[in-house]
Chain A
Amino acid sequence: MEPLIDVNYSPMECPSLSPSAPIWQDILAQAMTGELLAAMNYTSLSEICDDPAEVADALEHSECERGHAAAFAAEGRKIGVEVCNNVDAKHWKRLRDAFLRCITERDFIGCLIVQEIMLESFAVASYSRVGKVGRGSLGETFARIAAEEGEHVDHAMSILRAERARDAQRFDDKVYRLHLDVMTTLAQMLAKECKDGHCEVCHASCVKPSLFEVSLSAAELRGASLQQYLKTLDMLGIPGEVTLRWVTQLPV
């Protein structure tokens, strides 16, 4: 696999760094890794599409996600830190593997559910929260990218609704199967504390306990993400009492 963006694990030495710069460095690293993973997913998706328009669409989305990753890297440079990424970090790799299983099965709908419903819900919600507290262009970039990711979800929604209309039971079973796989991993990522070791993206110790210094919290990011996920599932038409059970059964 070609390098997506240069990987560098050491924080940039800069004597004038603000005290919160190392925190933003890790937030940006998680966001950038997510965007690069999304870019890889869309590229993979383009390889199983038959319709040339769908191929073009997937590749365009992939480019868009790369652009987002580059924008996050640029925001890091503005505050004097180099933003790392690691798509092979344990949680992110599991998410990628879940997506690749759909690719192996040439399951276009499964791919959309994983990327657009699950991963993008997480991205839209967490970027929106970060966008509210980030100062200047940093906050603006997160807010802008959150809005763009929201548009991706809207795009997929019509395809997925039409699919559900064909066979709701089958569709809901598929979403539930993917939920168990993907959302369990996302829930572990979003837990208030990383209890199973280093995430392999943060540059030093886990950033979660320090998030309050930039007016964020792991609990808030998790809550917002799960709320966005539930609302997205509502838009698909899956009964609310069913999705409520799914979410309350996730690990904490």
Chain B
Amino acid sequence: MGDAVASITTRARTIDADFALIGHQESWRAAADVLAVLRGPERTPLPDDEIKDILPWIPPRAVCHVDVGSIVGTKARGLYIDSFIPPDRLEAAYVHENIARVRGAAACAIQAGAKIVSLGGFSSILIEGNFDQLPERRGTVFTTGNTLTVAFIVQGIQKMCALEGRNLRRSTLLIVGATGDVGSGCARCLAPIVRRVLLSARKVERLRRLAAELQDDGVQVEIATDLPRFSAVADVVICAASLASPSLLLGRIASDAIVCDAGYPKNLSPTAEMLDAKVFFGGLGQITGGMKFTPDFHGILNRHPFPDVVHGCLLEGMALALEHRFEPFSQGRGFITQERVAEIETIAARHGIYLAPLYNADGPLEDRLDARWNGREDESMGERPSRTVESSF
């Protein structure tokens, strides 16, 4: 163990971080796995009750180094910083405590000299309207990463529609959490290419503003805070609500609806009755130029059934670092446009960052759907099939 620590110590002194990723664990199981890696295989894993006692006291800090590569040969070095928000404290009641944790994590990123910082999961939700609450920056820029998340959600919807033989232009799209940064970005990108848009969120004034914006572009839009009113008529659904736990029950839903759960933590309750709906986890990308964690957290920090799959929000920081574009690409709420999505997609693709293979809680989807895919592209927006590769570092 001494050697392992010594090697990390030495690296930490010499690293000049290009990027930092700020995140948190979405479940106690995930948190337990992180602590088990830190504790080492030779020690008994901490019992669950001890983890729940200890984790809330851990101050935000770096957990590991992350090296990523581009398909054009450039490399970037970074850090994963965990804010250690306890998975059961993601609710509004803990908002001030959690903002303080994200601020602490941001301070770690600044201290590490990170040139760009991506805010993952709730970190982004907590800060997207409060950028002024971040510590003094000294050459570090912050991005919520939401633009690339939107890009991958949109790509995922298009791919799923193509796999299922659906015509998106004849679809009724429901966005749950429509007034959030990700939800509204999806609305702007998809509204022009669907038949009808249904927007659902808790705040009616924000819904009205977004609807008016889309209607100005000639889109047929309806709004409701009452979700069940919409769920039965939608055949494509994006769940992008900020929920502390997977608790969303869509209610009655079209039996063959395509449902993208883009939440972190996931939106959909495991008890939600989805009939024959085609559910997939959205907003995920895959970095094909290689990604290495030191110490090795593969499969622990990125718990997906495919290698090198990462949430779009975190990939945005990596892509911008590989591009040497150290700028706050995504900031604030409601500024994600089709043009910005196209721009970040281009940057990401240039470095081999593509839509991740589709999967859901039951596992990979594409094996089951490949026969119907056959490389077809959606008629409204060209999208290349994602590739599964092993880490090349």
Residue ranges of A at the interface with B (Cβ–Cβ < 8 Å): 168-169, 172-173, 176, 192, 219, 222-224, 226-227, 230-231, 234, 238-249, 252
Contact = CB atoms under 8 A, between A and B. Distances in A.
Given A234-B59, A244-B38, 5 more contacts: A241-B65, A245-B5, A249-B38, A252-B46, A252-B50
A240 B35 contact: no
Contacts of B2: 176
Nearest to B1: A249
Q: Is the interface of B mostly helix, strand, loop or mixed?
A: helix
Given A227-B59, A240-B62, A241-B64, A222 B5 contact: no
Given A248-B35, A249-B39, A239 B53 contact: no
A173 B58 CA distance: 22
Contacts of A192: 50, 53
Nearest to A225: B57
Interface stretch (B7-15, B90-98, B266-274, B333-341): B7-15
Contact of B8 (A230, A234, A242): A242
Nearest to A240: B61
Given A192-B53, A219-B53, A244 B61 contact: yes
26 contacts: A173-B6, A223-B57, A226-B57, A227-B57, A227-B58, A227-B59, A230-B59, A239-B62, A240-B61, A241-B8, A241-B61, A241-B62, A241-B63, A241-B79, A244-B38, A244-B58, A244-B61, A245-B4, A245-B5, A248-B39, A248-B46, A249-B1, A249-B39, A252-B46, A252-B47, A252-B50
A171 to B, nearest CB: 10
Nearest to B62: A241
B138 interface: no
B353 interface: no
Interface in B16-60: 35, 38-40, 43, 46-47, 50, 53-54, 56-59
User: Which of B2, B10, B61 has the largest count of A CB atoms less than 10 A from its CB?
Assistant: B61
Contacts of B57: 223-224, 226-227
Nearest to B36: A248
Nearest to B65: A241
A173 B5 CA distance: 9
Given A176-B2, A230-B58, A249-B40, A244 B63 contact: yes
Given A241-B12, A245-B38, A230 B5 contact: no
B64 A168 contact: no
B58 A246 contact: no
A61 B80 CA distance: 41
A192 to B, nearest CB: 7
B108 interface: yes
Given A245-B38, A252-B46, A169 B54 contact: no
B53 A242 contact: no
Contacts of A173: 6
A114 to B, nearest CB: 19
A238 B6 CA distance: 12
Contacts of A234: 59, 61
Contacts of B59: 227, 230-231, 234, 240
A186 B72 CA distance: 51
A246 B5 CA distance: 9
Nearest to B47: A252
A223 B9 CA distance: 24
B56 A242 contact: no
User: Which of A219, A231, A234, A245 has the largest count of B CB atoms less than 10 A from its CB?
Assistant: A245
Nearest to B15: A239
A114 B8 CA distance: 23
Contact of B12 (A223, A226, A239, A249): A239
Contact of A239 (B1, B9, B38, B43): B9
A119 to B, nearest CB: 18
Nearest to A251: B43
A27 B43 CA distance: 31
B252 to A, nearest CB: 45
Nearest to A226: B57
Nearest to B64: A241
A79 B287 CA distance: 65
A83 to B, nearest CB: 28
